[in-house]
Amino acid sequence: MSKISIKKMDLYYTDFHALKNINMEIQANEITAFIGPSGCGKSTLLKSLNRMNDLVEGCRISGDILLDDEDIYDNDYDVNLLRKRVGMVFQSPNPFPMSIYDNIAYGPRTHGIKSKAKLDEIVEKSLRGGAIWDEIKDDLKKNALRVSGGQQQRICIARALAVDPEVLLMDEPTSALDPISTAKIEDLVQELKKKYTIVMVTHNMQQATRVSDKTAFFLTGEVIEFGNTEAMFSMPQDKRTEDYITGRFG
């Protein structure tokens, strides 16, 4: 069974048909990369996976998105629980203006965890999971905005891990980072996929080939091609995919 199953999904922003008949099976413990030119719908689909589009006025969705076989757009579905299970990391690091410790403890606290010992444990475990514990373990009281961009991004990943999610959505998580920080995050996601399902939007083709198991190529709201990353980057089936990944249009 797929972790996430998208079936006949369409999405409209008022009159604009942003996603057209999307069908996709996203497997657990794999990294799925979304690629495509700007405005093709890849971030829109990513945000639909934890219902972040609910807040966009005029946004209408039809079809199904199933998480472990349950429709996340069902009226009874608990959106808070969904966002706990499906965490998100954004393009620019966006730590809260508070200490590193409080950033990580924020989610667990909102879910009712008060015990200092328990929170300490979650903070350490999450920061380790974010591959940043060793660098900042002596500075947990430091304001999270006062560390480097690459460290901030790993703190944000750790913050997402703190609520013990199952799926991590990443929207161009390294596009604002230098090559060293990018390499660290890429190594990190390889580690994370052992425990989590990862869906990542990236504009960096090399990154998609380096880290992802599956790749989906989007164009004007459609998924043109979806399959094994190696196969797609060595022998794409659709001429439009070929033209895009070889840099001849888009």
Q: Which residues bind other proteins (CB under 8 A)?
A: 205-206, 209, 233-236, 242, 245-249
Q: Is the CB of 38 or the CB of 206 nearer to other proteins?
A: 206
Record the tokens describing residue 36, joined without a space: 């495509």
Rounded to a whole number of angstroms, the minimum distance from the CB of residue 99 to other proteins is: 41
CB of 232 to other proteins, least distance (A): 8
* Residues in contact with 176: Cβ distance below 8 Å, sequence separation at least 6, in sequence order: 91, 92, 93, 149, 153
Nearest approach, Cβ of residue 117 and other proteins (Å) = 49
Min dist CB 185 to other proteins, Å, is: 20
The angle subtended at Cα 185 by Cα 183 and Cα 186, nearest 5°, is 60
Query: Is 236 in contact with 245 (CB distance < 8 Å)?
Result: yes
Question: For residues 141 and 248, which CB has a smaller minimum distance to other proteins in the complex?
Answer: 248
Of 39 and 97, the one with the shorter C-beta distance to other proteins is 39
Q: Which is nearer to other proteins, 114 or 248 (by Cβ)?
A: 248
What does the block give as tokens for 44? 């829109």
DSSP codes joined into one string, 12-47: EETTEEEEEEEEEEE-TT-EEEEE-STTSSHHHHHH
Q: Which is nearer to other proteins, 101 or 244 (by Cβ)?
A: 244
Q: How far is the CB of 160 from other proteins (least distance, A)?
A: 30
203: nearest Cα among 235, 247, 239: 247
Identity of the residue, 102 or 225, whose beta carbon is nearer to other proteins in the bound complex: 225
CA dist 162 and 87 (Å) reads: 10
Distances (CA, A) of 67 to 32, 71, 79, 171: 15, 6, 12, 19
Instruction: Tell me how far, at minimum, the Cβ of 223 lies from other proteins, in Å.
Output: 18
Q: Is the dihedral of CA 240, 241, 246, 250 positive or negative?
A: positive
